[in-house]
Structure 1
Amino acid sequence: MKIHEYQAREILQDFDVPIPAGKVAETPSQAREVAEQLGGTVWAVKAQVHAGGRGKGGVKLARNLEQVEELAKTMIGMRLVAKQTGSDGALVSKVLIQQGVNIVSEYYVGFLIDRANQSPVLLASSEGGMEIEKVAADFPEKIVKEYIDSSVGLTKEQAKDVVVKLNMDEKVREKAEKVLLGLWKAFKEKDCSLLEINPLIVTKEGEVFPLDAKMTFDDNALYRHPELEVLIDPSQEDETELKAHEAGLPYIQLDGNIACLVNGAGLAMATMDTIKLFGGEPANFLDIGGGASVEKVTAAFEIMLSKPEVKVILVNIFGGIMKCDTIAEGIVEACKVVSLTVPLVVRMKGTHEDLGKQILKESGLPIITAETLGEAALKAVSLAKEQ
């Protein structure tokens, strides 16, 4: 789950991380009012979208109130195209007005999960403002990596070591250490998958601020954070993925034309790989889970068929906790509700397999069955090519 920069700022303040003065605005006139309230002679007008790389068009400096209003007018309602948005861009419905600061130096700081080492890691670099991928490619020697023991957390000694390696001015090192410790606390307590500060700045006055903040959260931990659910911005989400989220279905939209309904993430990945092996393209990742109801299966079918590019649906079920007859009943009911208009290939194995197959056979629906995953994928790919 992603949130906007202005929302990330509010969360960081709860963890005593200092933030430059700023406030979000939804209209050009409101943007001007915010700038007037903040005071000063320079303001940053920042488009709020769920993407990084906004520098080219999404972040502008204004040197008077008229410019603040004009820039906000240009940004609000536009679709900002950045490296992380794709060619369609992302809708800008709000802008963050941030008071100008006197920047002396910029740094990159990021907390994320290193899956290879199975631990959180703090990445830092003196090349603030640049994308970390470019820093890694051009200046690998300027990246500091500090692995964190989850049971202990980021220690004061580690924070101090990172600040020293970044060659920060001795006068601000203590403040920088406190910022790093506050960022780590936010990362851990909010179950973040990523907390990126780019840049972390040192000002002429000797303050240390995150000038930009990007936070994403582990979806699997959201049940622990009902306060985060209200931060979802539907305008920034894929409509299909949002519907799946509301239905409690792990779903990721892909670019293919063979929709997949599978129980279990590993089996879902294997199913998509097999489709690719036979020359097809999966349209989605969808894990129906181990306790799906008829209602959930129906919701899954509605979601898959809402995409006009879908030419075939492939259902691949291994009946363990999830019984094959339950899935079969869900499939039959879903087909009646959604008026199935594309070929449906079903492969099921496991608990109550025979009963499930009998339900499908007696349904009178034109369901194509398969005994193995390979056979099912081959049939789905062939049918997709015929459409």
Structure 2
Amino acid sequence: MNIHEYQAKDLFRSYGIPVPEGRLANNVQEVADAAAAFGGPVVVKAQIHAGGRGKAGGVKTADSPEEAVRVASSMLNHALITHQTGPEGRVVRKVLVERKQRVARELYISITLDRAHSRPAIIASPDGGMDIETVAATTPERVLRQSIDPLYGLTDFEARRVAAFLGFSGKKLHGCARLLKNLFRLYQEKDASLAEINPLVVTEEGELLALDAKLNFEDNALFRHGELATLEDPAEEDPLEREARRFGLNYIRLDGSVGAMVNGAGLAMATMDLIKQAGEAPANFLDVGGGAGAEKIAAGFRIILSDAHVKAILINIFGGILRCDLLAEGVVKAAKDTGVNVPVIIRLQGTNAEEGQRILKASGLHFTVAENLSDAARLVSEVRTK
């Protein structure tokens, strides 16, 4: 689960991580009030669940309340397009107004899961304000990865090592180490999957501040954190992904035109590769799971068809726990309910595959049944070129 920057900064404050003074504004009047209260230059920041806001014009400075209003007017209720939003962008419904800081240095720190070593890791660089991937690719010596033993947590020594790498010494080194330990405590206690500050700045007055804040939380651990559930913003979610979650489906919307329904994440990835090899692009990742019933299958089918970009559907099922006859019943029900008007290719193998094919043929609906994966790839290519 993602949250907004202003929400992440509220959590930062509660864990002793310094952030700039700021106010959330839902309209231009609140922007004017906030800018007037600060009595000096401010920064107006669009609040959407996407990175790259600064490059896209979603972070702007203003020297007066009047200018802050003009800046905010260009953001509020307009779509902001970044490299993470896709071409449709995200509508800005609120902005964060902060007192502008006099920045001397910009740094980067984050804590995330190092999957290769099955433990958390701090990633730090003295080159903040940039994409860390770019820094790692061009100047890898400027990036430090500090692995953390989950049994011991972030030790004082490790925190000081990261602070020293960032160029701190003396009291400032210990101040940075405390910030890092507080950030790790937040990451661990809240079951975060990412805690990122980019940039962490040193002001001209020598103060450390988290100028930006990004927190992602592990969905499977949210049952332990009722207080985090209130931070979710449904307006920032894809409506189809939200509907899929209601039925317990693993669905991610993509940019292609061939919808896919598969049981099992590995088979889903292979199916998307299959669609690409056929010269097309998948419209979604949809794993219905091993124990899906007819109702769940029907919901998945309806969700795929709700995407106006879908021009064909490939259903690829290897029947094990999920029986092919149940899959067929669900697909037939959903097809009759929705009045499907795009080609549907189905490949069934495994438990009750023959019965599943019989149900499909007896439905009176037009489905194309593939004999195997190669046949499915050929059929995908054929139906999309017709």
2: CA distance, partners of 1:254 / 1:284: 5
Alignment partner of 2:360: what SS?
Answer: helix
2: CA distance, partners of 1:187 / 1:43: 29
- Equivalent pair of 1:255/1:283 in contact (CA under 8 Å): yes
Tell me whether 1:207 sits opposite 2:225 in the alignment.
no
2: CA distance, partners of 1:67 / 1:178: 37
**Residue matched to 1:120:** 120
* Cα 1:369–1:198 shift into 2, 3 Å: same
Structure 2 counterparts to residues 218-257 of structure 1, below 5 A: 218-257=218-257
For normalisation by structure 1, the TM-score amounts to 0.92
User: 1:33-61: CA deviations, max 9, x gaps?
Assistant: 22344x34222111112222222421122
Using the TM superposition, give the Cα deviation of residue 379 of structure 1 relative to its aligned residue in structure 2, in angstroms: 1.6
**Residue matched to 2:41:** 42
**Residue matched to 1:360:** 360
* Cα 1:115–1:358 shift into 2, 3 Å: same
Alignment partner of 1:106: what SS?
Answer: strand
1: CA distance, partners of 2:155 / 2:385: 57
2: CA distance, partners of 1:351 / 1:165: 57
Structure 2 counterparts to residues 68-107 of structure 1, below 5 A: 68-107=68-107
Alignment partner of 2:315: what SS?
Answer: strand
Identity within the alignment, %: 46
Letter in 2 for 1:122: I
* Cα 1:279–1:75 shift into 2, 3 Å: closer
Return 230-239 or 176-185, whichever deviates more.
Answer: 230-239
Using the TM superposition, give the Cα deviation of residue 169 of structure 1 relative to its aligned residue in structure 2, in angstroms: 4.1
Letter in 2 for 1:356: G
Return 149-158 or 236-245, whichever deviates more.
Answer: 236-245
* Cα 1:333–1:226 shift into 2, 3 Å: farther
**Residue matched to 1:185:** 185
- Equivalent pair of 2:241/2:253 in contact (CA under 8 Å): yes
Letter in 2 for 1:70: R
* Cα 1:298–1:121 shift into 2, 3 Å: same
Return 147-156 or 216-225, whichever deviates more.
Answer: 216-225
2: CA distance, partners of 1:334 / 1:89: 31
- Equivalent pair of 1:15/1:182 in contact (CA under 8 Å): yes
Alignment partner of 1:75: what SS?
Answer: coil
Structure 2 counterparts to residues 12-161 of structure 1, below 5 A: 12-37=12-37, 39-56=38-55, 57-161=57-161
Letter in 2 for 1:50: H
* Cα 1:225–1:373 shift into 2, 3 Å: farther
Alignment partner of 1:150: what SS?
Answer: coil
2: CA distance, partners of 1:351 / 1:137: 48
1: CA distance, partners of 2:267 / 2:285: 10
Using the TM superposition, give the Cα deviation of residue 109 of structure 1 relative to its aligned residue in structure 2, in angstroms: 0.6
User: 1:275-308: CA deviations, max 9, x gaps?
Assistant: 2223332221100112223222222111111223
**Residue matched to 2:264:** 264
- The alignment yields a C-alpha RMSD, in angstroms, of 2.1
1: CA distance, partners of 2:226 / 2:375: 43
Aligned residues: 385
Return 320-329 or 19-28, whichever deviates more.
Answer: 320-329
Return 99-108 or 299-308, whichever deviates more.
Answer: 99-108
1: CA distance, partners of 2:311 / 2:304: 10
Letter in 2 for 1:67: E
Using the TM superposition, give the Cα deviation of residue 241 of structure 1 relative to its aligned residue in structure 2, in angstroms: 2.4
Using the TM superposition, give the Cα deviation of residue 205 of structure 1 relative to its aligned residue in structure 2, in angstroms: 4.0
Unpaired segments of 5 or more residues in structure 2? none
Alignment partner of 1:163: what SS?
Answer: helix
For normalisation by structure 2, the TM-score amounts to 0.92
Alignment partner of 2:355: what SS?
Answer: helix
2: CA distance, partners of 1:346 / 1:225: 41
Unpaired segments of 5 or more residues in structure 1? none
Letter in 2 for 1:369: V
1: CA distance, partners of 2:14 / 2:226: 16
- Equivalent pair of 2:278/2:380 in contact (CA under 8 Å): no
- Equivalent pair of 1:260/1:284 in contact (CA under 8 Å): yes
Structure 2 counterparts to residues 333-372 of structure 1, below 5 A: 333-372=333-372
Letter in 1 for 2:158: Q
Using the TM superposition, give the Cα deviation of residue 211 of structure 1 relative to its aligned residue in structure 2, in angstroms: 0.8
**Residue matched to 2:322:** 322
Using the TM superposition, give the Cα deviation of residue 101 of structure 1 relative to its aligned residue in structure 2, in angstroms: 2.9
**Residue matched to 1:4:** 4
Alignment partner of 2:358: what SS?
Answer: helix
**Residue matched to 1:217:** 217
2: CA distance, partners of 1:193 / 1:166: 23
